[in-house]
Homo-oligomer: A and B are copies of this chain.
Amino acid sequence: MYQCSETNKTRETFCDIYFEMSLKKILLGTVFLRNRYIGLSSVSTITDKKYRFDESEGFLFRTKGKILTAAVFSSVLIGAAVNEQIKDKNVKSQSNDVVIEAGEKLPDLPTYTAEEVSKHGDKNSFWVTYKHGVYDVTKFLPSHPGGEQIMNAGGLSIEPFWNVYGMHKTPEIYKLLESYRIGNLHDDDVIDHSDDELWVKEPVRDNRLIVKTAKPFNAEIPAKYQIEFFDTPNELFYVRQHMPVPELDADDHRLKVTVKGSKIRTEEFSLRDLDKFRRVTTRAALMCAGNRRSEMNEQVKPVKGIGWMGGAISNAVWGGVYLRDVLLYSGVDPEDTKGKHVIFTGADIDATGVNFSTSIPLDMAMNPSSGILLATTMNGHPLPPDHGRPLRAVVPGAPAVRSVKWLQSITVSEDESPSHWHQKDYRAFNPSKTWETADFATAPPVYSLPVTSAICDPADGDVVSVKNGAVQVRGYAYSGGGAKIVRVDVSADGGRSWWEARELQADAAPPQQHYGWTLWTASVPVATQQKEVELWAKATDSNFNTQPERFNDIWNIRGILSNAYHRIKIKLVH
């Protein structure tokens, strides 16, 4: 139980509080009060100006004088595309005069108090502040990459949110924000939203990773390391975080499994309890649904999301127990799976206090072929913090988002996860759907990934020595849903001739149960007079699906499932 005392009160409709809580607890959760962003794991009661916190589920918090329960608040949280980077060609093309940072004080503009700003918090008039800046972003709301997530910042500073969703902090987005500038925030109301405390416990990362966003940490594995190791070393495994990394203690960690039915049954497992199930290992590549997004973005038109190259996939051997076994033990009827879902909830918590969560169909979880794990090890070592220590789901063949890290609860339910990560992201649309016309409610969630491949060596733009009239080309290929790669073809002449990769390195698991990636090597003849060639790679899987030729007809607003042929240009030295 924690006590906190009120330390400051600047305005009657707001209460500023300061929590004397351990940094660990702050990292476990966050509550947003007034313009100040403060972390906590839970608040059970609020009595006048005294706030009592304990470990009970759910929390209450006060903002703009209202007390909201977590449930109510999370129902407002239907913003899609959180955590990812805005990319807009308009912004890019205009960004010659770069805005270094938004929110500078601009003397010619009117001044507003925080109270005045706070009155503009709905869709009809939606203002936000950032440092000294006041912005009327009403017209921007429909095109916010994070969907309605932005509504939580109505009439408030967006800085605390951006501290969690650090990918906003780019010159392009600063410039976009400034285009909505209407005034300055009153000096008395400008608060220092230093974000050090939130991120100070982040793990130390390998400096060979290619950082895409620092907070949250998202980083690719360089292509050369993808093909250097069949099983990616843990420290080089690509990292995809939505929030700060929670720090959990393996000895204390508990997994709560709730099976909803005619009656609700709940089991709780320590890691030692889980070890009583048969322990197994599964080799599975994990790939972000947005891997290779940058190609779709560049070759067709802008999409929203982290600009992954081909480095958002790595391969590992995961050790743990079968989810299926734990669900059977916990009372799931394997004959009664239709239409039900398995909701995974992690210990990572967003700026509004909501735990990361997503779900998969119960059919999938109970299918003995799907090999879904509750994993505690990665390549024979305890999971690193970045990869879910001490416990994560591993859902082979699915977008990595379903392999929930820091797993703290599993709920079997009639409903899919209500989280915005599940409801408003990782769903597929055709190329004609816009943010205005896309209906997330009826769009199919992505539970399995299509066939893809990438050339890792040489790299685009490389100068390559021709040996014996040919170029050596190496890369990876992968297909979800248990499909195995059966062939990789490379063309150096725009598809007029295709050269089959002579070597495919893969796990021995059979098709339909094959979850690792495939590393391949091809020898591609080139003519003596050729000084430059464009290489195309495409893979075929055991269902004989192949990659689409180009991105045009698979383009989608979120830039996921970006699996057209990989094309690079190289220069030749004969």
Contacts and interface: CB of A to CB of B under 8 A. Distances in A.
Interface of A: 337-338, 361, 363-364, 367-370, 428, 430-432, 444, 446-451, 479-483, 486-487, 489, 495, 497-500, 508, 510-513, 538, 540, 542-550, 552-554, 561
Given A432-B498, A550-B549, A553-B498, A543 B369 contact: no
A448 B544 contact: yes
A542 B363 contact: no
A545 B451 contact: yes
Contact of A432 (B479, B497, B549): B497
A190 B538 CA distance: 54
B498 A361 contact: no
Nearest to A362: B510
A481 B483 CA distance: 9
Given A486-B444, A495-B552, A512 B545 contact: no
A450 B539 CA distance: 13
A508 B339 CA distance: 10
B512 A542 contact: no
A553 to B, nearest CB: 5
8 residue pairs, one from A and one from B, having the closest CB atoms: A363-B510, A545-B545, A481-B543, A444-B486, A450-B545, A448-B543, A430-B498, A450-B544
Nearest to A366: B510
A368 B368 contact: yes
Contacts of A428: 486-487, 540, 544
B549 A481 contact: no
Contacts of A543: 448-450, 479-481, 483, 543, 545
A210 B550 CA distance: 36
A195 B8 CA distance: 102
A499 B498 CA distance: 33
A497 B448 CA distance: 25
A508 B338 contact: yes
A438 to B, nearest CB: 11
Nearest to A549: B549
A542 B498 contact: no
Contacts of A431: 495, 498
Contacts of A450: 543-546
Contacts of A489: 430
Given A369-B512, A483-B481, A550-B549, A499 B432 contact: yes
16 contacts: A337-B510, A338-B510, A363-B510, A364-B510, A364-B511, A367-B512, A367-B513, A428-B540, A444-B487, A451-B545, A481-B542, A483-B543, A498-B553, A512-B512, A548-B549, A549-B553
Contact of A546 (B444, B511, B553): B553
Contacts of A552: 495
Contact of A370 (B432, B512, B546): B512
